[in-house]
Structure 1
Amino acid sequence: MKIGIVSNLYPPDARGGAELVAQRIADALYERGHEVFVLTTQPLEGLRSLFPRIRERTLEAVYRFFPLNVYYLRQDRHVPFPIRALWHLIDLFSYCGRCAIRSVIRDEDPDVVITHNLKGIGVAIGREIQRQGVPHIHTLHDVQLSVPSGLLIAGQEQSWLNRSFLRRWYERGVKREMGRPNLVLSPSRFLSDFYHERGLFTDTRVEILPNPMPPDQVRGRDSRTAQKTQFLFVGQLEEHKGIRELLQALHGFGEEIDLHIAGEGSLAEFVASSAELDSRIHFHGFTSLNHLIELLRTSDAVVVPSICYENSPTVIYESYLVGVPVIASDIGGIPELIV
């Protein structure tokens, strides 16, 4: 079969776990003998970047383009709310996104298209796939089809924005532009129920399918040699990931533990400064999968202190692959993974 994959971001351009999941699925399908292509985004680089072109050929052909909007998806930090609102409005009905998927479908003639996160590439891509008569599978990763930012913070469920007509209008727009996929995959029961309660995908078949594991050619944990207990945090260095709360909690412990932190984000300088002031904190910055596996193999536990409603964090899968226990927040789909 020829299978298309659509994702707002795709490695090496990645922000979180959703893009890694999309890549792992693409690689796994290729290894099973399928022909795979990917449609994703890129920053604006002149007029030519508005049209999808093959930029990489690895296991799969990767088409990249800039979906015309007021800024690129990864340039959203410190953007004022009115500009963000305009960006989300353009993204919801993205003409460029519809044209891009129509063009790629015409050139590739796929048997099925699997979509992942569509914020930033165009939610309307969903309905356009169906208009082209191609079977459509959508994979859920977060709450972005109800909450435009993709973030629902614990304690803010009843905020004015989450209760306003704007969110309900947005959900109606998403329902229209996503159309009716042939199948929706959700890695967690939590996320499936979240959308069902809001009237999304109620007339579509939904299946619970955990995220794929990373490549399993890894060794388990090393024999314990460190005298201190080694904790590891891996993820975006953002407020919603609970990194600030984790560092505050560290003050309640003595010298018997070390905390390793791997990731990048707007709080990177804060984390680096904390590491300079506290010898127990070891900041590794962005890490490749190979480096992450090495960190996991020397860790006693992984900490996932998120304060937002997570779906199915990939770091938990990676931890289990190496045999590292996980301490995590009791929120969203996380409890479904903690055994």
Structure 2
Amino acid sequence: MNDPRAPGGSSANDMLRVLVVSHGHPNLSLGGAEVASYNLHQGLKSIPGAQSFFLARVGEDYPGHGRSALMGAEDADDELLYHADDYDPFLISNRNTADIRKDLRRLVRTLHPDVVHFHHFLGLGLEALYTVREALPNAAILVTFHEFLPLCHHHGQMVKTEGLKLCETASPISCHGCFPEIAPGAFLRRKQFIQSMLGLADAYISPSRFLADRYVQWGLPADNFSIIENGLNVSEKAEPRKLTGSRNRRSKFAFFGQMTPYKGVDILIDAVQRIPESVWGDDASLTIFGGNLGRQPEPFRKKIASLLEKAEDRVRFAGSYQNKDMPALMRQVDWVMMPSIWWENSPVIIQEAFFHGRPLICSDIGGMAEKVRNGIDGLHFRAASPEDLADRMIEILSNQGQWEHLHKGIQPPKTHLDTAQEHLNLYRAVIANRRVPRVELSGDLQQSA
């Protein structure tokens, strides 16, 4: 895997035109990948040597133009929206290849970027890579991975559909086990199609080594991968919470994120209600900052309701939040909880917690275990085990020196400017070393399983 810090063959004074492509705009669809891609765009605009443009996909909930899939973004000359809603989630494919051939091709030929960097293709379709390569054979194409969507049809989580157990390997047979209505041969054709589209890229980026290793195991070349952490674009830092009450403890826990089965909020609530009253006391609390519970499957909603009834007033909901609210929210808490039952990659909440000096308690798997150093800047617990998580929380509440020790071990996360410079170095290296691929670019973009 490559070192993105190594400068490429171009002079640092050469201006590179970069098009950053995302599956959503953070002003319209707030998520980790949307924020990461937009932060990169803003970072590239702020450092010497790059001119950046941002293209974000919008879907059926956003009104489109009748004649073009392209639309301007409000109050931003260098940001564009691309309307795409005819999407095949199995193939990660856009059925509307006419708009791709007409509007996306016209856009990239007009902008003529040196680099096209896909931060995601969800909703947009892998055919976008094909069109960019066809329209700009000499441009460098890069892809950043945020989860396992090309590997896993189960929302890219690498979690079994039955029992939500962790999945170690993606294969046609194992995928057929999760989706018996889809034949193994269809999963094989899916893999071949997706790998052929990803093969048009010159380089791949992963924010965690864990995620990159999974893609290499799946079949992508290791030499094409670079590890670059997503940069954080935050200026206001929250000071440590002022301690009050007779116990004078660091006893305020918080969960930030969507309330889905994969995020493990049920594990967290279960753990809280297991802690003895003598340890929990009247000063401890868990606050859940997040939403979308109403969109989850009914069995999960019922499970949460039952757990909340047992936890009583130990847990409170604060609803969804915006990024701008984070400093104020962090001032209310001491510990950030990440009980995800899937591998995760590099959740932005880890960087946000570290920026504000809050230790994390997280599952001991995947990108979480890679980013949070057990006993140094946070604590691990056995994934999907409310018993083990309860034990960690009991240790914390019983040992007030723990927070100060972990707080001192936190290293400041990378800023969006740091990350933009690493990306710019990688772009130059890719351009200096790439050879224009000999690819047959004829026929219909659409493939079928």
The answer as to whether partners of 2:142 and 2:204 remain within 8 angstroms in 1 is yes
Partner of 1:78: none
Partner of 2:17: 2
Deviations 1:129-161 (A, max 9, x none): 222222112111110111132222262525613
Range that drifts further, 249-258 or 86-95: 86-95
Cα offset, 1:98, TM superposition: 5.0
Picking from 203, 216, 225, the partner of 1:196 is 216
* Equivalent residue pairs, number: 322
- Helix, strand or coil for the counterpart of 1:311? coil
Write out aligned runs for 1:1-339 (5 A). Answer: 1-33=16-48, 34-44=50-60, 45=63, 48=66, 51-58=69-76, 61-69=78-86, 86-89=88-91, 91=93, 95=97, 96-97=99-100, 99-131=102-134, 132-133=136-137, 134-148=139-153, 149-153=155-159, 155-157=165-167, 158=174, 160-161=177-178, 164-200=184-220, 202=221, 205-225=224-244, 229-253=251-275, 254=277, 255-256=280-281, 257-267=284-294, 270=301, 278-339=312-373
Alignment gaps of 5+ in structure 1:
71-85
Tell me which amino acid in the other structure corresponds to 1:242: G
Cα offset, 1:174, TM superposition: 0.8
The answer as to whether partners of 1:51 and 1:66 remain within 8 angstroms in 2 is yes
Tell me which amino acid in the other structure corresponds to 1:32: I
Distance in 1 (CA, whole Å) between partners of 2:178 and 2:306 is 34
Distance in 2 (CA, whole Å) between partners of 1:272 and 1:26 is 41
Range that drifts further, 160-169 or 288-297: 160-169
Partner of 2:382: none
Cα offset, 1:101, TM superposition: 2.7
Which has the larger Rg?
Answer: 2
Cα offset, 1:18, TM superposition: 0.8
Q: Which runs of 4+ in 1 moved over 4 A?
A: 267-277
Tell me which amino acid in the other structure corresponds to 1:57: D
Cα offset, 1:221, TM superposition: 2.2
Distance in 2 (CA, whole Å) between partners of 1:247 and 1:102 is 49
The answer as to whether partners of 2:26 and 2:34 remain within 8 angstroms in 1 is yes
**Percent identity at matched positions?**
25
Cα offset, 1:332, TM superposition: 1.5
The answer as to whether partners of 2:86 and 2:94 remain within 8 angstroms in 1 is no
- Helix, strand or coil for the counterpart of 2:293? coil
TM-score normalised by L of structure 1: 0.85
Distance in 1 (CA, whole Å) between partners of 2:222 and 2:179 is 24
Distance in 1 (CA, whole Å) between partners of 2:148 and 2:102 is 25
Range that drifts further, 122-131 or 158-167: 158-167
The answer as to whether partners of 2:92 and 2:122 remain within 8 angstroms in 1 is no
Tell me which amino acid in the other structure corresponds to 2:73: R
Distance in 2 (CA, whole Å) between partners of 1:261 and 1:247 is 10
The answer as to whether partners of 1:127 and 1:179 remain within 8 angstroms in 2 is no
Ranked by relative contact order (alpha carbons within 8 Å, sequence separation 6 or more), the top structure is: 2
Provide the aligned C-alpha RMSD in A. 2.7
Range that drifts further, 92-101 or 267-276: 267-276
The answer as to whether partners of 1:124 and 1:178 remain within 8 angstroms in 2 is no
The answer as to whether partners of 1:224 and 1:298 remain within 8 angstroms in 2 is no
The answer as to whether partners of 2:59 and 2:123 remain within 8 angstroms in 1 is no
Q: Could you say if the C-alpha distance between residues 50 and 150 of structure 1 is closer, same or farther in structure 2, counting changes exceeding 3 Å?
A: farther
Distance in 1 (CA, whole Å) between partners of 2:219 and 2:179 is 15
Q: Could you say if the C-alpha distance between residues 57 and 150 of structure 1 is closer, same or farther in structure 2, counting changes exceeding 3 Å?
A: farther
Q: Could you say if the C-alpha distance between residues 215 and 156 of structure 1 is closer, same or farther in structure 2, counting changes exceeding 3 Å?
A: closer
Deviations 1:160-199 (A, max 9, x none): 1379444332221111122332221111111111011111
Distance in 2 (CA, whole Å) between partners of 1:246 and 1:273 is 13
The answer as to whether partners of 1:216 and 1:321 remain within 8 angstroms in 2 is no
Distance in 2 (CA, whole Å) between partners of 1:97 and 1:274 is 47
Deviations 1:242-262 (A, max 9, x none): 112211222112343211111
